[in-house]
Chain A
Amino acid sequence: MSEGTLYDKVWDRHKVTTLPTGQDQLFVGLHLIHEVTSPQAFGMLREREMEVAYPKLTYATVDHIVPTADQSRPYGDDAAERMMSELEENVRDAGIEFADPSTGDQGIVHVVGPEQGLTQPGKTIVCGDSHTSTHGAFGALAFGIGTSQIRDVLATGCVAMEKSDVRRIEVTGELGDGVEAKDVILQIIRKLGTDGGVGYVYEYGGDAVESLGMEGRMSICNMSIEGGARAGYVNPDETTFEWLGDTEAFRDDPDEFERLKPYWESVASDGDAEYDDVVTIDGDALEPMVTWGTTPGQGVGISEPIPAPEDLPADKQDTARRAQDHMRVEPGETMQGYQVDVAFLGSCTNARLPDLRRGAQVVRGREVHEDVRALVVPGSQHVQRAAEEEGLADTFREAGFEWRNAGCSMCLGMNEDQLEGDEASASSSNRNFVGRQGSKDGRTVLMSPVMVAAAAVRGEVTDVRDLETLEEAEA
C-alpha cells in the first residue's frame, strides 16, 4: 500500500470511521451538483424524510441540458425545462448556492468549481459526474459518484469508499510545439488502457506535467476516468497557489489565503512517498494525438499509422475491428486527411480560457472550411466574458465559428447541440463512444483544442504543426 502520498494524507484527514463492510466513511468537503444526476437523489431524500446535512458545502450549477444558443425560459425542450425547474426547487428548499445562468457564474461544473476558488488542495470533492476527477489538478481528492451516493452525501455529508492503490505517472521532458496536455493524457490512456487504472488513483508528475498551467493539469486529470482510474491528481505547488490567489474566493481575502496555505502545502506527497506502481512517459517523444476508434484508448500520434486489429493484444482485437468499421478507417493509414463535418471546441476537458486562446491563434486570419460546422462553447460564463473582452470571440466568429453560451454542449449531446446522422467530428471533448455527441451513427475524433482548430480550417484531420509551417511559408 502507498504511504505518504497526497492521496493517503487527504484520505486520512477525511476518514470518519471504518464501516462494518470494510469501506471507509469519508467526509466530503465539497459536493458539486448539477441537473442530471441529482433530482433522483433529492427524491430519495424526500422519501426518507431526510434533509441536506451540509448545504453550505454543496454548490450547484446547470450544464448538461442548458441550451447554448437561446437560453430564454421556459427552455424550448420540455424535458430540459423540467430538469432545470426541479433543480431550482431542490436548491431553494435546501438552501444551496446555485450558479444559474442569471448569476453570471454558470458553466460546466468542473470549470466553475475551480474558477470560484471552491476547488482547493486537500479537499475531498464529489459530484455525480465521472469527470469530477478534473479537480484533482489542484491536489484535491475528487471522485465521480452515482446517484445513490449523491443521496448519501446529501443526507450525511459523506461517501462510503474503499481505498485504492496509487500509481505515480511521471511524464518526463518537455512538450514540443503543438503538443498539449490533451496529448499527454491520450498517450497515457493508450499506453495503460481504458481499464488500466481500475483499482488505482493516478498521481501525475514529472517535468512535463509540473511545467503545465492549471488548465493543462485539469485537462489531464479530467480524463483519468477514461483510463479507468477513480481519480487523478497533481501535487499542489506555486503554480496552484498563484492560480488560487487569483480566484474570486481569495482575491479579496488574502488573510484566508495565508491561513489555508500551510494546509495546502502539507498535503503534497512526501519526497520519499511510497507508491504501489510507477510508470514513466517520455514527454519529449510525444506528438499531437488523435483517436481512430470508439474508446479514448484507441489513439495514435498524428503521423503514426492506425494499427491493424490483429497486431493488438487478443482482448483488444474485436473492439478494434468494430471501432474501425464504425469509424470507417483503414489500418496502415494515418488519421491525417480524415474528413470532418463538425469541429467542436468545448467540454469540461478543454473549454477554458487558454484552450480558447490557443485555438484562436490557429484560426486567426483563416476561415473555417466550407463543409464544416464549427462551434466554440466556453466552459463557463466567466470564460465567455473574458474571451469576449480579449477579442477571441470575434476571432472565432470572423473565421466562421459559431460562438455559443456556456454549457456541456456537444460533448454528450443532452441539449440541442448534436451530431446528425453519420457526421464526423473533430472534438476537444473526452469521449468518442458510439452514440456520444448525440447521434448513434456519429463519429468522434478526440484531439486537443489546437488540433480541432486546425481540422476546422482544413476540413480534415490535420497536423497543427503543418498548419504553422504553412503560415510561415505564406508569410
Chain B
Amino acid sequence: MSSNDDGTGSADADGPAETVEYVSGTGVPVRGNDIDTDQIIPARYLKAVTFEGLGQFAFFDLRYDDEDNEKEHPFNEDRFRDASVLVANANFGCGSSREHAPQALMRWGIDAVVGESFAEIFAGNCLALGVPTVTADHESINALQQWVDDNPDGEIDVDVAAETLRYGDNEMSVSVDEAQRRALVEGEWDTTALMKANAGAVRETAGSLPYVTDDHLPEASD
C-alpha cells in the first residue's frame, strides 16, 4: 500500500540536502480542519526505534476499523494511491511534535502538502524532510480539492521557488514561509551540516552564558 517507503528519493533527510524547487504529481484531498498528528499516525505506532515502515500506518485509524476492514478514506482509494501532493484544510498537523507524522506521509508517497494552514512544529518537521508545506486561502483549497476529486490523474505542479501552483488550466498563487522557501530552493534544509560548520561560534555563545560552566563544555577538539 505504500508507494515509497524506503526513504530514498528527493526527500531523504539522511543525505546531503538537495534542492526542492518544485514538486509535481497527482493529488489526494484530505478534508477537515484540525487534523492532528494523533490522527495522522496513532500513538501505538510510535513504539519503534526507526521510522521505517511507517508509510502503511498513515491515517491508520481513519482508514481501518477494528477488524482491519477498510473504511472510506482517500488514502484507501486506488485512484489516489500514487498521489504525491496532499491537499489539506486548516491547522493541519496540530498536536504532538512527533516527526513520525510527516515521516508516515512521506513514506506513503507524499512529497508536498498544500493546505490552508499548518501547525508550526509539523511544518518544521516537514521542512527537515524536504517536504514543502504550502498555503493558500480557503476557497482556493476547496476548489483544488474538488478538482483533485474530479481529476485523480491530473498533474499538480507546485513551484516552491515562484510560489505558484498549477493544475489543469488553473494557476494560483500560494505562500511558502520565506525561510522554508530559501532552505528548499537553495538546498539548505539540512540544518545539521549548516550549523555544524559554526561549531567555534557556538562554543563562544555557550561560554558567554552564565549558566554554562566549563564543566559543561566538551574538550576543544573542533
Hey, which bits of chain A sit against chain B, CB under 8 A? 13-17, 19-23, 25, 27, 29, 36-37, 39-40, 43-44, 47-48, 50, 53-57, 64-65, 77, 79-80, 82-83, 86, 120, 122-123, 128-130, 132, 144-149, 151-152, 155-160, 162, 194-195, 198-199, 225-226, 228, 230, 259-260, 263, 295, 315-316, 318-319, 322, 412-414, 431, 433-436, 438, 440
Given contacts A54-B216, A83-B49, A195-B91, contact A146 B192 (CB under 8 A): no
Is B77 an interface residue, CB under 8 A from the partner? no
Contact between chains at A198 and B117 (CB < 8 Å): yes
A394: min CB distance to chain B, Å: 32
Contacts of B195 in A (CB 8 A): 16, 19, 25, 152, 155-156, 158, 160
Hey, which bits of chain B sit against chain A, CB under 8 A? 13-14, 32-34, 36, 38-39, 42-44, 46-51, 61, 90-91, 94-100, 102, 117-121, 124-125, 128-129, 138, 177-180, 182-183, 186, 188-189, 191-192, 194-196, 198-199, 201-202, 205-206, 208-212, 215-218
Contact between chains at A19 and B202 (CB < 8 Å): no
Specify which of A16, A56, A77, A130 is in contact with B205 (CB 8 Å cutoff). A16
Contacts of B217 in A (CB 8 A): 54, 56
Q: Can you list the 6 inter-chain pairs with the closest CB atoms, starting with the nearest?
A: A148-B128, A146-B125, A146-B99, A79-B47, A39-B49, A144-B97
Contact between chains at A316 and B94 (CB < 8 Å): no
Given contacts A22-B179, A40-B50, A315-B33, contact A230 B120 (CB under 8 A): yes
Contact between chains at B218 and A228 (CB < 8 Å): no
Specify which of A25, A158, A195 is in contact with B90 (CB 8 Å cutoff). A195
The residue of chain A having its C-beta at the shortest distance from the C-beta of B221 within the complex is: A51
Specify which of A22, A77, A80, A436 is in contact with B178 (CB 8 Å cutoff). A22
Contacts of B189 in A (CB 8 A): 21
Contact between chains at A56 and B97 (CB < 8 Å): no
Contacts of B95 in A (CB 8 A): 130, 225-226, 431, 433
In the complex, 5 of the A-B residue pairs with CB atoms within 8 angstroms, ordered by the A residue number, are A25-B194, A148-B13, A263-B210, A322-B32, A433-B39
The residue of chain A having its C-beta at the shortest distance from the C-beta of B210 within the complex is: A263
Contact between chains at B49 and A315 (CB < 8 Å): no
Contacts of B94 in A (CB 8 A): 194-195, 228, 295
Contact between chains at B202 and A21 (CB < 8 Å): no
